[in-house]
Amino acid sequence: MVKLFIGNLPREATEQEIRSLFEQYGKVLECDIIKNYGFVHIEDKTAAEDAIRNLHHHKLHGVCINVEASKNKSKASTKLHVGNISPACTNLELRAKFEEYGPVIECDIVKDYAFVHMERAEDAVEAIRGLDNTEFQGKRMRVQLSTSRLRTAPGMGDKSGCYRCGKEGHWSKECPVDRPGQVADFAEAYNEQYGAVRTPYAAGYGET
């Protein structure tokens, strides 16, 4: 199976329309449209190559769409921990909420918390700023940066690497991600480790 990314989709495009377009080149196992982009899972590599060759820059409703192989999740993606989720919330609903801030690579709900992988670090910063401590489906969500480190109680661990943000030199209880008014500090730390983050998010927490 090969996963393809379809970009620059016109607003009028439907899932069935995209599926039919790609089925000219092979069996489509899954098709998902998310705002102005989408993903198609096609059965084999040959079909995927044919679809890319024939559909990249194909005009759909007067708009040239982009078709390319989807990039797998890598270290460049940013993983967020989302706490205090409603038990009625579904993956699709939570994913759609975070996609208001940028492309989501993966979304996994585990009981009353979830992990959301966002493609770009700057979008993750915006999602933290916009969604942390806000109400969603009757529950007040907690959104913060996550790492793959073994989780201990807040304030534990050591200064070799904060378990909340992965940054060295401070305890997790001192992490700027968890302190209101300190998203700017988080953005600055992220700049040092991963590259520049867009500056509008350096404003105070909750400011516009």
Between 75 and 5, name the one with better pLDDT.
5
- Whether 24 and 49 map to the same domain: the answer is yes
Q: Measured between alpha carbons, how far is residue 184 from residues 18, 118, 139, 177, 189 in Å?
A: 41, 19, 26, 9, 9
Residues 23, 59, single domain; the answer is yes
Shared domain check, 82 and 143 = yes
How confident is the model at residue 152, as a pLDDT? 38
* Three-class DSSP category at 8: coil
The pLDDT value recorded for residue 59 is: 94
Mean pLDDT of 50-71: 92
Question: Which residues are bridge partners to 117 per DSSP?
Answer: 79, 106
pLDDT reported for residue 76: 59
171 confidence band (pLDDT: 50, 70, 90)? low
Average pLDDT over residues 129-147: 92
Residue 184: domain span: 78-202
pLDDT mean across residues, the chain: 77
Show which of 69, 95, 114 is a domain's final residue: 69
Q: Is residue 153 pLDDT above 50, yes or no?
A: no
85 and 9 in a common domain: no
Q: How far apart are CA 76 and CA 74, in angstroms?
A: 5
In this predicted structure, what is the pLDDT of residue 45?
Answer: 92
- For residues 190 and 186, give the distance between their C-alpha atoms in angstroms, rounded to a whole number: 6
Which of 40, 69, 98 marks a domain boundary?
A: 69
Rounded mean pLDDT of 186-201?
A: 45
The count of domains in the chain is 2
- Indicate if 103 and 134 belong to the same structural domain: yes
Q: Say how far residue 59 (Cα) sits from the centre of its chain.
A: 28
Which long-range CB contacts under 8 A does 52-56 form with residues at least 24 apart?
52/4, 54/24, 54/25, 55/21, 55/22, 55/25
CATH number for 175: 3.30.70.330
- The pLDDT of residue 167 is 52
Cβ neighbours for 59, distance < 8 A, ≥ 6 positions apart: 65
Q: Does residue 204 carry a pLDDT above 50? A: no
13 in the same domain as 113: no
